[in-house]
């Protein structure tokens, strides 16, 4: 959607008007008690999980401990996500250090790597060549970057990538850790490299030492496999519904801020349990419009944004969680089938 002249000015004024209303509503005010309560609660639960791990010892019941740990670390990363978006404190410095402690020291992930990647996504969601979340890799989200058709075993996999998407997420936890480690020990953009290296090394080193000290080697690897696998599945299952299967933006397209964020995002319908399980990311449209808004206020913001979009005929997407997964699977399969020959003319295909 390219705009010029009066139309562009109107589109810009649309968000200005919404922003003025939201600022006046008080929904941008900080919720320190909410976030401190979550931080302390998660710290206590993680400590109790470590105690349980030590008490259970060399038993296959540790796989339950691994599953609990995967869930708690997912909640930790939601808290780190909020800090990275400046939702917790007014001070950028305080939010940075909160992110470093939560992501690097608690979860063993690189805050600097994630922030750089995630900031690009927020700036231009679903824009080809700009959003790293739709870059071609193990999965194909669009065929524009493909140099040649995917054939053979790779082609077979790509044509079924929608069905294989969730099983593949079992490797995402390991991938997140590896990507972060490669960045902080490499030449990637990291603001506080020594601190990140110290925190991640301490966290991963002590975690592996604890697991292999108390468990036999085979059981230790099984524990790590369950914990990392379920953590990756949890993270992917929360983030996937937000944008996958929504419209893709051409490389050179220029879209006003309101429509860029609303048209490319999808909300997930649900109640308080959904809010908790998804870390507030089920309000993806509201989060993209006001990324620094504290998480508990997104539910209150939603009716305002939905009504505002309806008045201006801006499509507002909201579906149930299972329906969103169906959309993601179908979209990935459709793209995967096109990857058999990315140079086919769509019009010619329709006329065949």
Position 341 scores a pLDDT of 66
CB proximity list for 167: less than 8 A, separation 6 or greater: none
Return the minimum-mean-pLDDT range out of 12-21, 88-97, 296-305, 322-331. Answer: 12-21
Instruction: Report pLDDT digits (tens) over 242-265.
Output: 999 999 999 888 899 999 999 999
Tokens of 28: 């941008």
Question: In the predicted model, what is the mean pLDDT of the chain?
Answer: 91
Return the minimum-mean-pLDDT range out of 10-19, 102-111, 209-218, 240-249. Answer: 10-19
Higher pLDDT: 78 or 148? It is: 78
Residue 345 banded pLDDT, cuts 50, 70, 90:
very low
Average pLDDT on 143-151 reads 79
- Cβ atoms of residues 281 and 242 within 8 Å: yes
Distance CA 97, CA 76 (A): 15
Position 12 scores a pLDDT of 63
- What per-residue string of b and e applies to 185-213 under the rule 16 or more CB within 10 Å gives b? eeebebebbebbbebbeebbeeeeeebee
Higher pLDDT: 9 or 181? It is: 181
Half-sphere exposure of 172 (CA within 13 A, CB side): 23
Distance CA 207, CA 100 (A): 17
Share of the chain above pLDDT 70, in %: 93
pTM given for the model: 0.90
User: Is pLDDT of 107 > 60?
Assistant: yes
Average pLDDT on 287-298 reads 97
Average pLDDT on 135-143 reads 85
Average pLDDT on 310-321 reads 95
Distance CA 276, CA 41 (A): 14
Position 11 scores a pLDDT of 55
**Phi/psi at 239 (nearest 5 deg)?**
-85, -30
User: Is pLDDT of 231 > 50?
Assistant: yes
Instruction: Report pLDDT digits (tens) over 188-222.
Output: 778 899 999 999 999 999 999 999 999 999 999 99
Distance CA 23, CA 181 (A): 39
β-strands 318-319, 267-268 pairing: parallel
What residue has token string 């997104």?
Answer: 298
Average pLDDT on 84-92 reads 95
Position 10 scores a pLDDT of 54
- Cβ atoms of residues 219 and 60 within 8 Å: yes
Residue 149 banded pLDDT, cuts 50, 70, 90:
confident
User: Is pLDDT of 351 > 80?
Assistant: no
């Amino acid at each position: 959607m390219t705009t010029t002249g009066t139309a562009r000015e109107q589109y810009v004024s649309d968000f200005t008007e919404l922003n003025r209303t939201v600022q006046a509503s008080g929904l941008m005010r900080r919720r320190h008690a909410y976030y401190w309560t979550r931080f302390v609660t998660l710290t206590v639960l993680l400590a109790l999980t470590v105690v349980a791990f030590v008490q259970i010892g060399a038993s296959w019941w540790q796989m339950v401990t691994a599953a609990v740990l995967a869930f708690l670390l997912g909640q930790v990363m939601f808290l780190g996500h909020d800090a990275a978006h400046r939702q917790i404190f007014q001070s950028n410095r305080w939010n940075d250090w909160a992110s470093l402690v939560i992501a690097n020291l608690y979860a063993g992930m690189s805050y600097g790597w994630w922030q750089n990647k995630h900031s690009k996504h927020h700036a231009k969601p679903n824009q080809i060549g700009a959003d790293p979340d739709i870059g071609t890799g193990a999965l194909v989200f669009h065929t524009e970057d493909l140099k040649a058709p995917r054939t053979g075993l790779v082609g077979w996999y790509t044509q079924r990538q929608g069905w294989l998407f969730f099983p593949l997420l079992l490797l995402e936890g390991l991938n997140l850790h590896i990507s972060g480690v490669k960045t902080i020990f490499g030449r990637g953009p990291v603001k506080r490299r020594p601190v990140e290296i110290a925190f991640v090394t301490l966290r991963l080193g002590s975690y592996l030492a604890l697991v292999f000290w108390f468990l036999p080697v085979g059981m230790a690897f099984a524990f790590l496999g369950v914990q990392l696998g379920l953590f990756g599945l949890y993270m992917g299952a929360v983030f996937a519904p937000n944008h996958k299967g929504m419209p893709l933006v051409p490389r050179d397209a220029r879209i006003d801020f309101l429509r860029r964020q609303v048209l490319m995002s999808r909300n997930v319908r649900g109640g308080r349990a959904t809010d908790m399980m998804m870390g507030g990311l089920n309000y993806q449209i509201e989060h993209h419009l006001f990324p620094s808004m504290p998480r508990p206020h997104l539910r209150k913001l939603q009716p305002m944004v939905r009504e505002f979009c309806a008045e201006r005929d801006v499509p507002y997407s909201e579906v149930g969680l299972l329906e969103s997964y169906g959309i993601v699977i179908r979209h990935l399969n459709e793209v995967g089938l096109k990857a058999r020959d990315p140079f086919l003319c769509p019009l010619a295909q329709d006329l065949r």
